[in-house]
Amino acid sequence: MADYDLIVVGGGPAGYVGAIRAGQLGKKVACIEMDRAGGTCLNWGCIPTKSLLKNAEVYQLIRHHAADFGIKVEGLSYDWEKVIGRSRKVADRLAGGIEMLFKKNKIDYIRGEAAITKAGVVEVTDKDGKKSEYKGAKILVATGVVTREMPGFPFNGKSVISSKQAMVLAEQPKDIIIVGAGAIGVEFAYFFNSFGTKVTLVEMLPNILPIEDTEVSATLEKSLAKQGIRILAGTKVEKAETTNKGVRLTVSGKANETIEAAIALVAIGVSPLMPHGAKLETDAKGWLKTDENYETSVPGIYGAGDIIGPPWLAHVASFEAVQAVEGMFAGKKPRRGGVFPGCTYCQPQVASVGLTERAAKEKGLAFKIGKFPFMASGKAQAVGESEGFVKLVIGEKHGEILGAHILGADATEMIAELGLAITMEATYEELAATIHAHPTLSEAVHEAAHASQGRAIHF
């Protein structure tokens, strides 16, 4: 008999969530993690970066807007070590919480590096080099991804760094070049700039946050530039090298020049982290191939989360893991894909769900746009957060919500309503008929629904 009903390889948002769900279903489960429970998201990504960004937001608010609120501040300063230290404490606290959840759900938490030697068998090498073998009726691969290096410009932990290394810099850099303006690149650009580091953000594609709605990206670019970030979108790195003083990058496109800085943060994407030993089928880009049940090419071995390809989002990973586990043990037909939100936590924040206006046009859909600016929102004015807007993409024939895009304060909290609206196939009429509390920022959603029909009251 197998030692376990399920062995989960990887303890990130897919792995630990899948393990807990299987435990809830009464299964005997082991979760193997070579770093710490929570994976990259909790320990080196989503959670600690939000801590850093909150520090930056508070500092910026006091520095630039204290007087707006009638508050006088003298001798304002910050402690870089404590800025970094707070984020580590938050991550450590939550990682410990996941370990407690493992105990609560009777999940064996095994630390070490896993190798899938064959179907149903996982070999674990601990920190001392000792090997142990475990048998599982089913295996869930949730090993995630690693940060991708720029060819010919490898990470050295000093002048060329990844996002993980950026979170624990002992000293604040005087200047930094960030290559890649996806969510990670933009968030770090906002963070470092907020504390006075000179930031140059380089993006090969025409817009920062290229997967977002073009209008949102363009408006955010103007906002970040106004804050002091130099943005070179539509710009390619032709040559990158380290120097005695830091790094030197030669770029072409929007700018044709050579840029120097103390540090280069490379945020150009991720690569799959496949477990050792497993001879599992992958696609052309190396992502683990799974069928509609999340099962790989080897019967009994499943995959979920970042390892099976984009979108590389923690909430999608958790969703996939639950679907896979319930398909294995609860007799449910797993769901694939679906509606998921995307969020970027700079200030102003960006959040979206569903189709962009660009995608709707490419699909040849007939649609209307409903848009409401926060400058016309009473709550936004009251709290001093009037930058940005809510934008809805609405099907012309039936009035269904095809996509929603928010740029502004608390956008990442507001997007959930619109994700539910799309999931429930709600129309603009149903959004407009839902009474939103006053005064709230979410009233902008209500007004945007009315605006799609030319009936916005406050704009």
Among residues 237, 209, 206, the alpha carbon closest in space to that of 223 is found at 209
Buried b (16+ CB within 10 A) or exposed e, 319-348: bbbbbbbbbbbeeeebeeeeeebbbbbbbb
Note the residue count of the chain.
459
Rounded Cα distance between 47 and 332, Å, is 31
Give Cβ neighbours of residue 424 (< 8 Å, ≥ 6 apart). none
pLDDT, residue 1, reads 58
State both tokens at 300.
Answer: 């009994």
- Rounded to 5 degrees, what are φ and ψ at 329? -120, -15
Among 3.30.870.10, 3.30.70.270, 3.40.50.11820, 3.50.50.60, name the CATH number for the domain at 160-266. 3.50.50.60
Rounded Cα distance between 104 and 20, Å, is 9
- Rounded to 5 degrees, what are φ and ψ at 257? -165, 175
pLDDT, residue 457, reads 93
Cα angle, residue 46 at apex, residues 251 and 180 outer, rounded to 5°: 10
Q: Are 9 and 140 in contact (CB under 8 A)?
A: yes
**Which residue type, as a one-letter code, is found at position 362?**
E
3-state secondary structure of 346: coil
- Positions of the chain with pLDDT lower than 50, given as ranges: none
Rounded Cα distance between 155 and 133, Å, is 34
State both tokens at 181.
Answer: 């303006």
- Domains 4-147+271-329 and 160-266 in one fold: yes
Q: What is the 3-state secondary structure (H, E, C) of 44-101?
A: HCHHHHHHHHHHHHHHHHHHHHCHHHCCCCCCCCCCHHHHHHHHHHHHHHHHHHHHHH
Q: Are 447 and 373 in contact (CB under 8 A)?
A: no
Give the strand order in the sheet containing 160-161.
160-161, 263-266, 175-179, 198-202, 230-232
State both tokens at 210.
Answer: 């290229």
Rounded Cα distance between 135 and 16, Å, is 19
pLDDT, residue 278, reads 80
pLDDT, residue 2, reads 73
pLDDT, residue 391, reads 98
Domain 348-451 has CATH 1.10.1040.10: no
Rounded Cα distance between 389 and 345, Å, is 16
Q: pTM (2 decimals)?
A: 0.96
Give Cβ neighbours of residue 82 (< 8 Å, ≥ 6 apart). none
pLDDT, residue 255, reads 84
Among residues 172, 170, 175, the alpha carbon closest in space to that of 201 is found at 175
Rounded Cα distance between 119 and 84, Å, is 42
**Helices assigned H by DSSP within 123-241:** 163-166, 183-194, 214-227
Among residues 209, 227, 229, the alpha carbon closest in space to that of 387 is found at 227
Rounded Cα distance between 406 and 44, Å, is 26
Domain definitions of the chain by residue range: 4-147+271-329, 160-266, 348-451
What are the CA-CA distances from residue 99 to residues 182, 279, 319 (Å)? 31, 30, 20
Among residues 378, 405, 348, the alpha carbon closest in space to that of 216 is found at 405
Tens digits of residue pLDDT in 89-147:
999 999 999 999 999 999 999 999 999 998 899 999 999 999 999 999 999 999 999 99
**For residue 141, what is the DSSP state?**
E
Give me the residue label for tokens 């605006």.
451
Q: Are 360 and 403 in contact (CB under 8 A)?
A: yes
3-state secondary structure of 317: helix
Active site residues: 438
CATH fold for the domain made of 4-147+271-329: FAD/NAD(P)-binding domain (3.50.50)
State both tokens at 437.
Answer: 């509390």
Judge if the upstream peptide bond of residue 348 is cis by omega within 30 degrees of 0: yes
Q: Quick one: how far is CA 375 from the chain centroid?
A: 27
Rounded Cα distance between 304 and 316, Å, is 9
Tens digits of residue pLDDT in 287-316:
999 999 999 999 999 999 999 999 999 999
